[in-house]
Amino acid sequence: TAPIETLEFQSEARQLLQLMIHSIYSNKDTFLRELVSNASDALDKLRLEAFRDKELQADTSDLHVAIEIDSEQRTLTVRDNGIGMSRDEVISLIGTIAKSGTAEFLRKLKESQDAAASQELIGQFGVGFYASFMVADKVTLVTRKAGSDEGVRWESEGAGTYTIEPVADAPQGTAVTLHLKPVDAEDQLFDYTSAAKVREIVKRYSDFLTWPIRMAAEPTEEGAEPTVETVNSMKALWARASSEVTEQEYTEFYKHISHDWNDPLETVRFQAEGTFEYQALLFIPSRAPMDLFMRERKRGVQLYVKRVFIMDDCEALMPEYLRFVKGVVDAADLSLNVSREILQQDRQIQLIRKRLVKRVLSTVKSLDAEKYGTFWKEFGRAVKEGLLDDFDNREAILEICSFESTHDADKPTRLAQYVERMKEGQEHIYYLTGESRTAIENSPHLEAFQAKGFEVLVLTDPIDEMWVDAVPGFEGKQFQSIAKGQVDLDENQDEEQKAEFAGLLTWMGSALEEHVKEVRLSSRLTTSPACIVGDSHDMTPTLEKMYRAMGQ
Ligand code: ADP
Ligand code: MG
């Protein structure tokens, strides 16, 4: 007989499983969405692999998902005949969590005392396969990688360890069998052995999947031969008329492709006809993912060619500063063999990307105040990277940016609003950068500007230091640091004052010779006796500190 090995889950995985076993997530139905979503991905992967590798010994004649219920054993099985997993893949994909941001997520979760906040965190993280343990006290997975003849059986009760063993004659693909927990009304655990309930969940969450999801049909009469039926309508959402697709369907589709459990903030859909046909369905999420600022962060747009999935994270379709945008582009005239390298060079793809970017920016611009507020809070920092990366769209990016300002401490302002409030004769958009709002508010540089009623942008994000130097202006108005150079408040001091302080200035100039270039009278202060200013082309103190911290 074959050896059974007992292995330990990686510690992050173990912690996550504990959360699932203790079911702190209230919408338990999501487990089925996750399993069906994984099965569908596995079918996508096999189709593509078989197309690319003609030698692959795999059966692709009837790719589908099957859901089987055994009410006596109280089991539910989700089976696919897709790509499957090797033994090593089962250990690394199922036994560990490779997602970046996991440690951060678990730390936040531990800190959050409040149930609603925890729910939201879990939703934002998206638990995937482990969601099974919300409804099952034991999960068995049998899989065989397409093209291989070594099957694997994995089993776990979710508590620390799992077993793994080889199995003979496992069918190609993966079958996940849940040994269901007893029904518990209080815990909102439904009876998932009810075919009607399961069918309803599949319809609700997975209707748009383009692979057939099959279940045994209700017998029409006593003793009739059992038949199977396809539960989903199998139509790609982006290929259906917009008027036929409900909000709920878009939302579920978003969750399938993004692995996010929260609803999207906004949906964007459009298409192009003619020589280069494509359809695009994009989503702006409502929460930033944990790993938005991590180096290996992927981009979120998938590429399809005539309904056939080609790749995830298609970086050729979305610039880095919009990496949080999720969605699908289905292009009609690309080869199924297209590679990432080819895509980067492809002129048509570049045109599509241009249009996607413009649409995303204009969509954000037209969001209502509440949604825009959410957007900016979640993604503003990423968007500002675009000011440095995307010269062509600079003005459009500036239009959707918000900044803190001295006008209203509680509400960031859009630049257009700043410009509207500019005083008669004010030519520049004034800003001051610093480490924090308090530091900026205490800065002597601000005094005269406040005294004279000029509004000043309060820029505290490290990236602000970079773009203010790179971006020439907004609506023809230059950005002007109030900590640099001679600021044009009204510098024509009377000669008498100059003469009166000449001695002091000369003395201070020589006393401070090693530290400053010049000591001069200024009208920029009202209560502080003195302040240090940089030359107009100098680095700001914060930027200097940043460079020093980077060792330059
Ligand atoms: P995600 O789908 O977000 O990657 P999951 O926890 O749902 O996370 O799944 C983890 C990984 O396990 C998947 O990325 C996939 O590689 C693998 N996997 C899960 N289910 C299947 C399946 N039915 N067939 C093949 N691989 C699977
Ligand atoms: Mg998944």
pLDDT band at 145 (very low <50, low <70, confident <90, very high): very high
Cα–Cα dist 104/414, whole Å: 31
Cα–Cα dist 101/109, whole Å: 12
Reply yes or no on whether the pLDDT at 1 is more than 60. Answer: no
Which numbered ligand comes closest to the C-alpha of 86? Answer: 1
Reply yes or no on whether the pLDDT at 30 is more than 90. Answer: yes
Which numbered ligand comes closest to the C-alpha of 42? Answer: 1
Single pTM value for the model: 0.84
Task: Return the pLDDT at 552.
Answer: 54
- Distance between Cα 242 and ligand 2 center (Å): 27
Average pLDDT, the chain: 90
Average pLDDT over residues 252-275: 93
Q: Ligand 1, from 37, 89, 129: best to mutate by most atoms within 8 Å of Cβ?
A: 129
Residues with Cβ within 8 Å of residue 410, at least 6 apart in sequence: none
Backbone angles phi, psi at 202, to 5 degrees: -60, -45
In this structure, the residue with its CA closest to atom 12 of ligand 1 is: 93
Reply yes or no on whether the pLDDT at 490 is more than 60. Answer: no
Task: Return the pLDDT at 437.
Answer: 92
Cα–Cα dist 96/80, whole Å: 22
Per-residue pLDDT of 451-467, as tens digits, reads 888 999 999 999 999 99
Per-residue pLDDT of 89-107, as tens digits, reads 999 999 999 888 888 899 9
In this structure, the residue with its CA closest to atom 10 of ligand 1 is: 93
Maximum separation of any 2 CA atoms in the chain, in Å:
112
In this structure, the residue with its CA closest to atom 4 of ligand 1 is: 128
Q: Lowest-pLDDT range, 16-20, 482-486, 491-495, 512-516?
A: 491-495
Task: Return the pLDDT at 517.
Answer: 82
In this structure, the residue with its CA closest to atom 19 of ligand 1 is: 38
Percent above pLDDT 90 for the chain:
65
pLDDT band at 514 (very low <50, low <70, confident <90, very high): confident
Which protein residues touch ligand 1 with a CB less than 6 Å away?
A: 34, 38-39, 42, 80, 82-85, 93-94, 128-129, 174, 259
pLDDT band at 537 (very low <50, low <70, confident <90, very high): low
Q: Ligand 1, from 12, 31, 35, 41: best to mutate by most atoms within 8 Å of Cβ?
A: 41
pLDDT band at 498 (very low <50, low <70, confident <90, very high): confident
Reply yes or no on whether the pLDDT at 306 is more than 70. Answer: yes
pLDDT band at 333 (very low <50, low <70, confident <90, very high): confident
* Cα angle: 271, vertex 275, 281; to 5 degrees: 15
Q: Tell which residue, 291, 358, 376, has the closest CA to residue 319.
A: 358
Task: Return the pLDDT at 430.
Answer: 95
- Distance between Cα 366 and ligand 1 center (Å): 37
Q: State whether residue 375 is helix, strand or coil.
A: helix
pLDDT band at 509 (very low <50, low <70, confident <90, very high): confident
- Distance between Cα 161 and ligand 2 center (Å): 21
Q: Ligand 1, from 93, 143, 152, 176: best to mutate by most atoms within 8 Å of Cβ?
A: 93
Which numbered ligand comes closest to the C-alpha of 173? Answer: 1
For the chain, the straight-line distance linking the first and the last C-alpha, in angstroms and rounded, comes to 63
Reply yes or no on whether the pLDDT at 492 is more than 70. Answer: no
Q: Where are the beta strands (DSSP E) in 21-135?
A: 65-70, 75-80
Per-residue pLDDT of 60-85, as tens digits, reads 999 999 999 999 999 999 999 999 99
Reply yes or no on whether the pLDDT at 187 is more than 80. Answer: no
Could you report the predicted ipTM of this complex, rounded to two decimals? Answer: 0.99
Average pLDDT over residues 30-42: 96
Reply yes or no on whether the pLDDT at 313 is more than 60. Answer: yes
